Chains A and B, each alone.
Chain A
Amino acid sequence: MLTDFFSRFHIVKKTNSAGTNPLLLSFLSLVAALIIGGLFILCLGKNPFAVYGVIIEGAFKIARTGAYVFKTIGYAIPLVITSIAVSIAFKMKFWNIGAEGQMIAGAILASYFALFQSQMPHWLLLLVMVLAGAVGGGLLGTIPAFFKCKFDTNETLFTLMLNYIALSVITYLKDGPWSETPGFPGIAKFADNARLDIVGGVHIGWIFTVLLVVAAFIYMRYTKHGYEISVIGDSINTARYAGMNVNRVILRTMFISGALCGIAGMIQVSGIEHTLGESVAGGRGFTAIIIAWLSRLNPFVCVLFSMLFATLQQGCSGSALLKLGLSPYVADILQGIILFVILAFDFFTQYKIVCRGRKNA
């Protein structure tokens, strides 16, 4: 019987990561995802190799008009920062899914200085904008943390709601107070003074990102703060029993997490978009959650996955794909397929299936 057949298999949690190498498994799952994505493209009547080729060319080509690879890196920068930001919160088992809103809050405060205080000296202005971004994102991150500590308010739902509240603040500013021409929605472009400098083809945000990756790795692994975060994540009662000030750690960590997202928002407005609009976060905060999870909260792996998703997005946005008769939505479809497959494969890193033999059948 079918039920007998299934009852012979038994799922067991792995005691440690012995056996299959998780990195190998990640690689295998990526290959499997690309194959399934390829089958999807085949179903559309296109040659998968041609489409993948176009995507890679679109993401890495060095053309006379400018290297596409720099655009791809520019796309990856906010993903890296925000995925590291949410990783820090996730390590504490604080489900911050408000990266989107925290990015927006940072972008709004930074834009205030870019739009209305742009006469400051260039470097001072940029520094003020970074600080404003950090404060904006940090505060928006601290609010749900405060209520979590004080009243045990569900942080997943709270941070989710704040995303949309933050988004409509942009709409409000764009429609009214900050609109360039009264009566028409739209905020003015930033003055050159308020834009990030280009260093080596990409805006200077990449240097910050590289430093952040290393700093975050050290912070999580080798500092007292990082230790406190992981203890709280494993067992909040253990942390209390050990005498940690749990509430303070949660508030501090969420401020850091939000502040990093806010800085990502500042970098996005000042380095890429050069103005404030509703697309400033544009789903990146949600993608960051996925990246953080796929990377198992490791900052270095976050870079790899961010580059992967940036490659997909940038590679699918060009006109070459349109000529093949495919719209840029292919990027998100492939991204979805990759996510599904990696999530499914993740099972085998944590569990194994044991066959019990026939004795009960």
Chain B
Amino acid sequence: MNGIINLLTAAIRAGIPLLFGTTGEIITEKSGNMNLGVEGMMWLGAFFGFYAGLHTDSLILALLCAFAAGLGGALIYAVLTVSLRANQTVAGLALTIFGTAFANFFGLRMIADNGGFLPKLSPRLTGILADKPIPLLGKIPYIGKLLFSHNILVYLGIGIAVLAFLYMNKTRAGLRMRAVGEAPATADAAGINVTLTKYIHILLGGGVCGLGGAYLSLAFFGGQWQNACVDGQGWIAVALVIFANWNPVKAILGTLLFGMFEVIRFRVDWLNIPPAFCDMLPYVITTLILVIASIRRSRERRQPQGCGNNYFREDR
């Protein structure tokens, strides 16, 4: 029992960066833009979040910087695709190339400035970000360890996902945003400002992706900068969007499962599964879901209809 609890706890911690990226991408895609720059925005968030944390020693500022960095990357993407109507796939890939290189370039500089050693956050900050049980709740046997013994960014990620779900499905603004994502021309005719709606949600989504990067650089590796800290997580997050059926709450469960694959990868000795198989599993499952949904012609399980195409009023 303890072993299983440990495994699940580790899976939650490994999966949460994906949750940020996935929630961010869901917000973006629901407003009708497929941004393949998740990886790049996570890198930007990882670097700027860490840099701010290192120099200001403030968690709030670090998170704000990470959010702003992801948002900044998304702004480039939004200007290119929404205002200038550039191809969404190409703009997203360009953002990934740029963000990854930018963060790594300045990451190496940060190491050089630190005399060649990997920079580490102050003990105070790593203390705040450490995994620790919540008073009282953390004492509940099993469940306390599983649910109430994480670092605060885990709760932030779950909170944002739940908020995003409520926003998308229970508010007027969320409804408008989904209308823009499904049928921009109809939304436009109904008097919704398509351009503004897209901008807001692409930027918000990018900011949330940036926080995912900050989770990796600030908390996941114990507050020490790692040159490969994001390393493909952004792409798994894109896969998870499909897995979660564009629903942030389902993404929480998906995160747990995908996090599990990542954890198992390092503990496979006792199962005798090749580690590469664990790498592959998230993508295989996602592909299967994609295919099965299309075979069943499910109207629920598909990308927002307007996703991938830019809207130009005079093209109607």
Q: Which residues of A lie under 8 Å from residue B34 when comparing CB positions?
A: 156
Q: Is B162 an interface residue (CB 8 A)?
A: no
Cβ–Cβ contact B291 & A158, under 8 A: yes
- When distances are taken between beta carbons in the complex, the residues of chain B under 8 Å from A11 are 312, 314
Contact segment of B15-23, B142-150, B271-279: B271-279
Instruction: Decide: A171 and B101 in contact? CB cutoff 8 A.
Output: no
- Write the B241-279 contact mask toward A (1 if CB under 8 angstroms, else 0): 010000000000000000000000000000000111101
- Partner of A351 from B79, B85, B102 at Cβ < 8 Å: B85
Q: CB < 8 Å: which of B87, B283, B291 contacts A165?
A: B283
Measured between beta carbons, the chain B residues less than 8 angstroms from A30 are none
CB–CB A169/B85 < 8 A = no
- B302 adjacent to chain A (CB < 8 Å): yes
Please indicate the chain B residues that have their CB under 8 angstroms from the CB of A283 in the complex.
97
- Contacting pair A165 B94 (CB below 8 A): no
CA distance A332 to B43 in the complex (A): 14
* In contact, A336 and B291 (Cβ under 8 angstroms): no
**What secondary structure prevails in chain A residues at the interface with B?**
helix
Residue B283 contacts which of A13, A97, A164, A337 (CB distance < 8 angstroms)?
A164
Q: Does B151 contact A (CB under 8 A)?
A: no
Contacts of A337 in B (CB 8 A): 98
**Which residues of the other chain, A, contact B239 by a CB distance below 8 angstroms?**
160-161, 164
**Chain A neighbourhood of B100, CB < 8 A:** 332
What is the size, in residues, of chain B's interface with A at 8 Å between Cβ atoms?
A: 52
* Interface residues as binary, B87-121 with A (CB distance below 8 Å gives 1, 0 otherwise): 10111011111111110110011000000000000
Once A171-B275, A172-B277, A343-B80 are accepted as A-B contacts, the answer to whether A336 and B85 lie under 8 Å apart by CB is: no
> Which residue of chain B is the closest to A97 with respect to CB atoms?
B89
Which single residue of chain B is at the shortest CB-CB distance from A327? B108
Given A164-B235, A333-B105, A336-B98, check contact A95 B276 (CB 8 Å): no
B97 proximity list for chain A (CB < 8 A): 283, 286-287, 332, 335-336, 339
Closest to A334 in B: B101
B169 within 8 A of A: no
Task: Give the secondary structure class of B's interface.
Answer: helix
A332 to B102 CA separation, bound complex (whole angstroms): 8
Is B10 close to A, CB under 8 A? no
Asked if A343 and B104 sit within 8 Å, CB to CB, the answer is no
Q: How far is the CB of B124 from chain A (nearest CB, A)?
A: 31
C-alpha gap A327/B232 in the complex (Å): 21
User: Does A188 make an interface contact (CB < 8 A)?
Assistant: no
A168 within 8 A of B: yes
A157 touches B242 (CB 8 A): yes
A149-167 to B contact mask, C-beta < 8 Å, 1/0: 0011110111011101101
Contact at A164–B280, with CB atoms within 8 Å?
A: yes
Total residues of chain A contacting the partner, CB 8 A? 49
**Known: A330-B105, A339-B97. Is A154-B294 also a contact (CB below 8 A)?**
yes
As a 0/1 sequence over residues 272 to 312 of chain A, the CB contacts with chain B under 8 angstroms (1 = contact) are 00000000000100110110011000000000000000000
Q: Which residues of A contact B91 (CB under 8 A)?
A: 343
* Minimum CB–CB distance for A207 against chain B, Å: 30
Picked from B84, B96, B109, B242, the residue with its CB within 8 Å of the CB of A343 is B84
Closest to A337 in B: B98
Which residues from chain A contact B93 at a C-beta distance below 8 Å?
97, 286, 289-290
| Contact between B104 and A289, CB atoms less than 8 A apart | no
Which residues in B have their C-beta under 8 angstroms from that of A175?
274-276
Across the interface, do A329 and B276 meet the contact criterion of CB distance under 8 Å? no
List, in ascending order, chain A residues with CB within 8 A of B303's CB.
Answer: 154, 157
Contact at A162–B287, with CB atoms within 8 Å?
yes
A27 interfacial by beta-carbon distance below 8 Å: no
- The answer to whether B105 and A329 have CB atoms under 8 Å apart is yes
B94 touches A336 (CB 8 A): yes
Q: B287–A158 contact, CB under 8 A?
A: yes
Give chain B nearest CB distance to A91 CB in angstroms.
Answer: 14
CB pair A293–B87 under 8 Å, yes or no, is yes
Bound CA–CA A41/B280 (angstroms): 39
- Assess whether B87 is in contact with A329, with CB atoms less than 8 Å apart: no
| Given contacts A344-B79, A347-B84, A289 and B90 within 8 Å (CB-CB) | yes
Tell whether B128 is near chain A: CB-to-CB under 8 Å. no
Residue with the greatest number of chain B CB neighbours at <10 A, chosen from A162, A290, A335 = A290
Asked if B277 and A289 make an inter-chain contact with CB atoms under 8 angstroms apart, the answer reads no
Q: Does B295 reach chain A (CB closer than 8 Å)?
A: yes
Taken together as a complex, chains A and B put the C-alpha atoms of A346 and B91 apart, in Å, by: 12
B101 nearest CB neighbor, chain A only: A332
A357–B36 CA distance with the chains assembled, in angstroms:
39
Q: Please, which residues of chain B bring their CB within 8 A of the CB of A318?
A: none
Whether A168 lies near B276 (C-beta < 8 A) is yes
B86: contacting residue among A147, A167, A331, A346, CB under 8 A:
A346
Closest chain B CB from A359 CB (angstroms):
20
**When the two chains form their complex, are residues A176 and B89 in contact, meaning their CB atoms are under 8 A apart?**
no
In the bound assembly, the distance between CA atoms of A29 and B189 in angstroms comes to: 35
Q: Tell me which residues across on chain A come within 8 A of B280, comparing CB atoms.
A: 164-165, 168-169, 172
Taking a contact as CB atoms under 8 Å apart, the answer to whether B312 and A13 are in contact is: yes
Minimum CB–CB distance from B35 to chain A (whole Å) comes to 12
A335 to B95 CA separation, bound complex (whole angstroms): 10
B interface footprint on A324-361 (CB within 8 Å = 1, 0 otherwise): 00010111110111011001101100110000000000
Q: In the docked arrangement, what's the CA distance between A330 and B238, Å?
A: 26
Q: Does B134 contact A (CB under 8 A)?
A: no
18 A-B residue pairs with Cβ-Cβ distance under 8 Å, sorted by A, are: A97-B93, A154-B302, A154-B303, A156-B89, A164-B239, A168-B276, A168-B283, A169-B280, A171-B275, A283-B97, A287-B97, A327-B109, A329-B108, A330-B101, A331-B101, A335-B97, A336-B97, A344-B86
Interface residue ranges, B against A (CB under 8 Å): 34, 36, 76, 79-80, 84-87, 89-91, 93-102, 104-105, 108-109, 232, 235, 238-239, 242, 274-277, 279-280, 283-284, 286-287, 290-291, 294-295, 297, 302-303, 308, 312, 314-315
What 4 pairs across the A-B complex have the smallest Cβ distances? A336-B98, A332-B101, A172-B276, A339-B94
